[in-house]
Homo-oligomer: A and B are copies of this chain.
Amino acid sequence: MTPSPSERLGAGTPRLSLNRWTFRTTPLQEFLEVTAANGIDAVGLWRQDVAEVGLEALRRRVDDAGLRVSSLCRGGFLTAAAEADRTAALEDNHRAIDEAAALGAATLVLVVGGVDREDKDLIGARSRVTEAVTALAPYAEERGVTLSIEPLHPMFAADRAVVSTLDQALDIAEASGSPAAGVVVDTYHVWWDPCLERAIQRAAASDRLFSYQVCDWNLPLAAEPLHSRGYMGDGYIDFPSITAMIKEAGYTGDIEVEIFNEDVWATPADDSAKTIAERFTQLVLPSA
């Protein structure tokens, strides 16, 4: 017999991970405690958390709360053309990889960076990303860290990520020649992609599907379009359908809920965690 949602919640919500940024207005320690208290076993952390309390202390707090780290956000920003900027970016990514290793994070998420408004050279920016990921992957591999290249929604192609589709991210991962380079599927960024199912299968076939993140596509778009992410069920995304593709691909890892949304940030953390667990149990878990 299928357990009811409340029975499931009582026993914890398997595979659910709460991304730290969903609770950015909540103090770190409270975030970890709310997560654990709601029977959720994993969190996605940010480098800002490392900066705030230090790497050792962060690791200890997460351990003390009995949590796994499903991902660390974020490395990347690899599109700069000037040599000094490129070198600085690679060094910063080395530190991010070290942090992911120290936290035992399942993967490091890479947001690759935007296009230079002066040269507008989208194709050049993309090839610099490929070069940089190829350079970073062996460093990650040696430390047991995987790199999840994140295709961002095309509305961020100019200013945040010149990688807009899962196929593009896979092209870059494969070009690196390293098994440590792969992709994250974030529903907000890729739900619209007509090639999504095929690309997820492709990621699975090359063992490069490292992370699955969920949230809804809310309309009207928020004034800051990054913040139009919503609770699953509040927008237009068909979670059972996309989650079934991910399952089909053999993904068995944590599923992170990452919501940037002013209303969510204004909600008490425990209420948000409960809403997320409910929606996850209704819309994601049955197909996962």
Mark A residues whose CB is within 8 Å of B: 115, 117, 120-123, 126, 153-155, 157-159, 164-165, 167-168, 191-194, 217, 219, 221, 223, 225, 235-238, 241
Complex: how many Å from CA A164 to CA B153?
Answer: 12
A122 / chain B contacts, CB cutoff of 8 Å: 191-192, 238
Q: Do A238 and B168 contact each other (CB < 8 Å), given the known contacts A154-B153, A154-B154, A158-B217?
A: no
A120 / chain B contacts, CB cutoff of 8 Å: 236-238, 241
Counting chain B CB atoms within 10 Å of each CB, the highest count among A158, A165, A191, A225 belongs to: A158
Q: Is the interface of A mostly helix, strand, loop or mixed?
A: loop
A117 / chain B contacts, CB cutoff of 8 Å: 235-236
Chain B, residue nearest A154 (CB): B192
Counting chain B CB atoms within 10 Å of each CB, the highest count among A122, A154, A158, A167 belongs to: A154
The 5 closest A-B pairs by CB, nearest first: A157-B192, A158-B236, A120-B238, A154-B192, A155-B155
Would you give the shortest CB distance from A121 to chain B, in whole angstroms? Answer: 7
Would you give the shortest CB distance from A128 to chain B, in whole angstroms? Answer: 15
Would you give the shortest CB distance from A38 to chain B, in whole angstroms? Answer: 27
Partner of A219, one of B126, B159, B217: B159
Q: Is the CB of A238 within 8 A of B121?
A: yes
Chain B, residue nearest A122 (CB): B238
A191 / chain B contacts, CB cutoff of 8 Å: 122, 157
A167 / chain B contacts, CB cutoff of 8 Å: 194
26 contacts between A and B (CB under 8 A): A117-B235, A117-B236, A120-B237, A120-B238, A120-B241, A121-B238, A123-B241, A126-B194, A153-B154, A154-B154, A154-B155, A154-B192, A154-B193, A155-B155, A155-B221, A157-B192, A158-B217, A158-B219, A158-B235, A164-B192, A164-B193, A165-B194, A167-B194, A168-B194, A221-B225, A223-B223
A237 / chain B contacts, CB cutoff of 8 Å: 120
Complex: how many Å from CA A120 to CA B236?
Answer: 6
A122-B238, A154-B193, A168-B194 given; name 16 further pairs at CB < 8 Å. A117-B235, A120-B237, A122-B192, A153-B154, A154-B155, A155-B155, A155-B221, A155-B225, A157-B192, A158-B217, A158-B219, A158-B235, A158-B236, A164-B192, A164-B193, A221-B225
